[in-house]
């Protein structure tokens, strides 16, 4: 039976998985949700010995029911190959009594690779299935990680072009170098004279411009999105939680059916929502622990039942979590409202108008699978330094938010279940913050010298992604004012 998808904001219409992937966002501004979350149809015993790719297939086939076995397996094979620096794709590292699920072994050394290496294939397959003849143009605004992962994913994928906009002075040195050295004839990178919000608003305006869409269609192009609201990003992220449990089982760390907790450093709420889906599919997952940095809008939400983005935006050393509107939270709101689209729409309208909304008591009760915490900048730095001193393991700043939150949670709750921490970036991607957390003296050291030192400290070789940018040629030098983005897109596509 076909699993259909509907919007979180209306009952109006249903689409297939491939249609939902192509559209990204529903026409009413809602996010696509499957009409029910499917159960896994394999036993834990069977999962135990599966490769990452095999696990991906048994999980994803439950959601993408209009893909044939051949289509889905082909997407999986093209995605999870030697772009990853380990055959296990998402290894589990045991450090003291906790397990770090390392999601940063892909091409751009952050967890966005887990979904963005398969999304281009899901998208082009969906285009074929729906007889889309136009070339698909992916537009992305990025504050750093998503842009590079999307570029790497879409580079040289037939039938697609990708254009990434980033704030000229708003990304780290490594992040900028990673983007402007991107190869692939179908890739473009543009630096915006403005901040991330300018880039984001500019991209949204292009999406909403019906005239432009018509003009582009005449030239054989249609726009699409690689943002984390696309169901084609959420579904692949469920896989590694299923896989992590199976690895614990295989290694004899857990008994079949025994629950594991999951801790996720959270920004847009996509990654932790995937863990929640894994639990709904039937995996023995206990608590889902949502970890925030000093932008603790989610922590406050879980504490009080009130979501309120009216607060100061804080720049932290875990920039990929610096976010005040967690767009994927809408899917959870919809679920805890009993799949009531009108209730969800009411709250989302309040968020848009007043920047805040409050849950009903009944909705609050449906949040018992979750726990939440936050870590201050000082705690994050201490966690990196302490773990390194005690064990030699070096973690990045985002992972350290989760590790710090977990330490406090375990102490307060006495919850002794086995716990997996989602490790979302390589420490090499945030070398400066990581190294100065270990010792302030590194603040004086030049970027690539820091990387050499990190190799010595951690005993882990610098990943290929870092070596590549050391001497890579700058291939993208386009810049534009924030109000010239549409013109720039036209210039790139029509030249």
User: Using the rule CB under 6 A, is 268 a contact of ligand PLP?
Assistant: yes
User: Using the rule CB under 6 A, is 143 a contact of ligand PLP?
Assistant: no
User: Using the rule CB under 6 A, is 307 a contact of ligand PLP?
Assistant: no
Residue 237 CB, shortest distance to ligand PLP, in Å, is: 8
Residue of 167, 194, 236, 267 that binds ligand PLP (CB under 6 A): 267
User: Using the rule CB under 6 A, is 107 a contact of ligand PLP?
Assistant: no
User: Using the rule CB under 6 A, is 170 a contact of ligand PLP?
Assistant: no
Residue 268 CB, shortest distance to ligand PLP, in Å, is: 3
Segment near ligand PLP (CB under 6 A), from 61-69, 72-80, 266-274, 300-308? 266-274
Residue of 148, 247, 287, 398 that binds ligand PLP (CB under 6 A): 398
Instruction: List C-alpha distances in Å: 485 to 135, 224, 478.
Output: 20, 16, 11
In DSSP terms, which residues pair with 481 in a beta bridge?
193
User: Using the rule CB under 6 A, is 265 a contact of ligand PLP?
Assistant: yes
Residue 396 CB, shortest distance to ligand PLP, in Å, is: 7
Instruction: List C-alpha distances in Å: 99 to 91, 209, 370, 418.
Output: 10, 46, 19, 8
For ligand PLP, the closer CB: 394 or 489: 394
Residue 173 CB, shortest distance to ligand PLP, in Å, is: 16
How far apart, in whole angstroms, are the C-alpha atoms of residue 271 and residue 19?
A: 22
For ligand PLP, the closer CB: 186 or 424: 424
User: Using the rule CB under 6 A, is 295 a contact of ligand PLP?
Assistant: no
Residue 475 CB, shortest distance to ligand PLP, in Å, is: 23
User: Using the rule CB under 6 A, is 321 a contact of ligand PLP?
Assistant: yes
Q: Which residues lie below 8 Å from residue 409, measured CB to CB, with a gap of 6+? A: 263, 289, 371, 373, 415
User: Using the rule CB under 6 A, is 424 a contact of ligand PLP?
Assistant: yes
For ligand PLP, the closer CB: 67 or 277: 277
User: Using the rule CB under 6 A, is 121 a contact of ligand PLP?
Assistant: no
Q: How many CA atoms lie within 13 A of 108 on its CB side?
A: 28
User: Using the rule CB under 6 A, is 320 a contact of ligand PLP?
Assistant: yes
For ligand PLP, the closer CB: 56 or 149: 149
Q: Are 49 and 41 in contact (CB under 8 A)?
A: no
Q: Are 374 and 294 in contact (CB under 8 A)?
A: yes
Residue 196 CB, shortest distance to ligand PLP, in Å, is: 13
**Phi, psi at 13, each rounded to 5°:** -150, 160
- Output the six-digit token pair for 362: 């009944």
Residue 103 CB, shortest distance to ligand PLP, in Å, is: 9
Considering only residues 213 to 232 of the shown chain, the ones binding ligand PLP according to CB under 6 A are: 228
Query: With CB under 6 A, what is the number of residues at the site for ligand PLP?
Result: 17
In DSSP terms, which residues pair with 406 in a beta bridge?
none
- The label of the residue with tokens 């991906």 reads 56
Residue of 270, 373, 427, 463 that binds ligand PLP (CB under 6 A): 270
Burial of 476 (0-12, 13-18, 19+ CB in 10 A): middle
Q: Are 334 and 341 in contact (CB under 8 A)?
A: yes
User: Using the rule CB under 6 A, is 9 a contact of ligand PLP?
Assistant: no
User: Using the rule CB under 6 A, is 330 a contact of ligand PLP?
Assistant: no
CA angle 179, 181, 182 (to 5 degrees): 70
User: Using the rule CB under 6 A, is 112 a contact of ligand PLP?
Assistant: yes
In the complex, the residues that contact ligand PLP under the rule CB under 6 A are 110-112, 145, 228, 265-271, 320-321, 398, 424-425
């Amino acid at each position: 039976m076909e699993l259909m998808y509907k919007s979180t904001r209306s009952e109006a219409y249903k689409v297939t998985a491939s249609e939902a992937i192509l559209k990204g966002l529903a026409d009413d501004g809602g996010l696509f949700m499957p009409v029910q979350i499917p159960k896994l149809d394999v036993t834990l015993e069977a999962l135990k010995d599966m490769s990452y790719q095999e696990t991906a297939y048994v999980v994803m086939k439950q959601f993408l029911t209009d893909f044939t076995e051949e289509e889905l397996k082909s997407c999986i094979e093209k995605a999870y190959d030697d772009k990853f620096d380990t055959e296990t794709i998402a290894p589990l590292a045991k450090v003291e009594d906790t397990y770090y699920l390392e999601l940063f072994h892909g091409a751009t050394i952050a967890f966005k690779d887990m979904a963005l290496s398969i999304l281009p294939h899901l998208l082009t397959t969906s285009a074929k299935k729906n007889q889309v003849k136009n070339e698909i143009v992916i537009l992305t605004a990025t504050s750093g990680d998503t842009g590079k992962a999307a570029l790497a994913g879409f580079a040289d994928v037939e039938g697609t072009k990708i254009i990434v906009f980033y704030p000229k002075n708003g990304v780290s040195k490594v992040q900028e170098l990673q983007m402007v050295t991107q190869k692939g004839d179908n890739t473009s990178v543009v630096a915006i004279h403005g901040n991330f919000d300018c880039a984001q608003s500019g991209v949204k305006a292009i999406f909403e411009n019906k005239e432009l869409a018509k003009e582009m269609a005449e030239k054989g192009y249609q726009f699409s999105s690689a943002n984390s609201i696309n169901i084609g990003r959420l579904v692949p992220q469920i896989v590694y939680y299923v896989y992590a449990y199976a690895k614990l089982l295989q290694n004899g760390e857990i008994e079949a059916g025994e629950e594991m907790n999951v801790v996720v450093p959270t920004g847009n709420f996509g990654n932790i929502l995937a863990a929640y889906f894994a639990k709904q599919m039937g995996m023995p997952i206990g608590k889902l622990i949502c970890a925030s940095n000093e932008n603790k809008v989610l922590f406050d939400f879980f504490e009080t039942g009130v979501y309120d983005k009216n607060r100061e935006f804080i720049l932290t050393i875990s920039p990929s979590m610096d976010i005040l509107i967690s767009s994927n939270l809408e899917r959870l709101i919809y679920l805890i409202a009993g799949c009531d689209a009108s209730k969800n729409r009411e709250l989302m309208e309040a968020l848009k108008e007043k920047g805040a909304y409050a849950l009903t008591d009944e909705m609050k009760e449906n949040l018992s699978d979750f726990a939440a915490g936050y870590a201050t900048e000082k705690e994050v730095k201490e966690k990196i330094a302490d773990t390194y001193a005690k064990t030699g393991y070096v973690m990045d700043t985002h992972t350290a938010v989760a590790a710090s939150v977990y330490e406090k949670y375990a102490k307060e709750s006495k919850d002794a279940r086995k716990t997996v921490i989602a490790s979302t970036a390589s420490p090499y991607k945030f070398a400066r913050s990581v190294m100065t957390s270990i010792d302030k003296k590194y603040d004086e050291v030049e970027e690539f010298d820091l990387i050499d030192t990190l190799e010595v400290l951690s005993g882990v070789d610098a990943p290929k992604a870092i070596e590549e940018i050391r001497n890579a040629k700058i291939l993208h030098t386009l810049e534009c004012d924030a109000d010239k983005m549409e013109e720039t897109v036209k210039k790139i596509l029509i030249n």
